[in-house]
Amino acid sequence: MDLGLAGKRAIVTGGSRGIGKAIALGLAREGVDVVIAARDAAVLEATARDIAQETGRRVLGVATDTGDDAAVQALVQRTVDELGGVDILVNSAATPWSAGAPKDFASTTDEIVRREIEIKVLGYLRTARAVAPHFVEQGWGRIINISGLGARQANSIAQTIRNVSVSALTKNLADELGPKGINVTVVHPGLTRTERLTDRLTAQAASGDSTVAELEAALVKNSIRRVVDASEVADVVTFLASPRSIGITGDAIAVGGGVPGPVYY
């Protein structure tokens, strides 16, 4: 299937590592020129170079803190200046949720919640606000917000709040921007194989008797009984970024290999 993405231009925040990097690569493979944004300039430039060499597309790294509105505006303006416009925004910039972060009510301070919202919710709002005028002017655009299956689990106040908030943002934007040719969706990855997970399991394996594969298998709780790879999340996002996804907007797409038991409707 031709996704109709050749020649499109995308911004992927959080694009230097993990799911964001996989998404940038997936889009570039379909003929999209990509600007990747993250805070670590050195890693960003290396990732941009690698993706460009593999795909032959223009891939630019722009060091950006999405917690700063001026930096976000500069990111979008540079994209328009360098690529001639922008068609797709993938919001994937977020501080990783730490397994050691407080989860219980008594330990959940204002600052913990504020930190989670600042980047993953307000950061997504800032980037959407910056690209929207360009999308509206051309009558077409795609915004895909990467959230997480923490939106469907009450195991941490801060984590659940940030992910549910991304879904709420997505639906509001979808309803308002839909008549202007702009689709907005949210993708909920579950446990995903990224560099961060592989590095953590490799360190565990080095200090114990289990292999990386055995440690990974022990983490699996989904229906397909294996960890979803970042490239497989990217496949879904690439489709949602394409003109083929016209029938999907405002909805949440779970990409975690299925949650056994509950029925979501």
**Could you tell me if residue 259 is inside a domain?**
no
Predicted pLDDT of residue 98: 56
Q: 153 and 220: one domain?
A: no
Predicted pLDDT of residue 253: 97
Q: Which pTM was predicted? A: 0.95
Alpha carbons 3 and 19: distance in angstroms, whole number: 20
**Could you tell me if residue 81 is inside a domain?**
yes
**Could you tell me if residue 136 is inside a domain?**
yes
Predicted pLDDT of residue 116: 86
3-state secondary structure 62-119: EECCCCCHHHHHHHHHHHHHHHCCCCEEEECCCCCCCCCCCCCHHHCCHHHHHHHHHH
**Could you tell me if residue 115 is inside a domain?**
yes
Q: Which residue is listed with tokens 């959940």?
A: 108
> Quick one: which of 188, 259, 187, 254 has its CA closest to 225?
259
Q: 151 and 174: one domain?
A: yes
**Could you tell me if residue 101 is inside a domain?**
yes
Q: 166 and 221: one domain?
A: no
> Quick one: which of 42, 32, 39 has its CA closest to 11?
32
**Could you tell me if residue 24 is inside a domain?**
yes
Domain with 184, as residue range(s), is: 9-191+229-252
Asked if 157 and 108 touch (Cβ cutoff 8 Å), the reply is yes
Q: 197 and 187: one domain?
A: no
Structurally, the chain folds into a number of domains equal to 2
Predicted pLDDT of residue 150: 85
Q: 71 and 115: one domain?
A: yes
Q: 112 and 209: one domain?
A: no
Q: 197 and 113: one domain?
A: no
Q: Consecutive sets of 10 residues in the chain, 265 residues long: mean pLDDT of each?
A: 96 97 98 97 97 98 96 98 98 75 85 89 97 98 95 86 96 98 97 92 89 93 96 98 98 96 87
Q: 86 and 200: one domain?
A: no
**Could you tell me if residue 244 is inside a domain?**
yes
Predicted pLDDT of residue 161: 92
Q: 27 and 38: one domain?
A: yes
Q: 33 and 157: one domain?
A: yes
Q: 77 and 45: one domain?
A: yes
Write the CATH number for 103. 3.40.50.720
**Could you tell me if residue 242 is inside a domain?**
yes
Q: 90 and 199: one domain?
A: no
At 115-153, the pLDDT tens digits run 889 989 999 999 999 999 999 999 999 999 999 998 888
Alpha-helix runs per DSSP H in the chain: 18-29, 41-55, 69-83, 110-120, 122-138, 157-177, 195-206, 212-219, 230-240
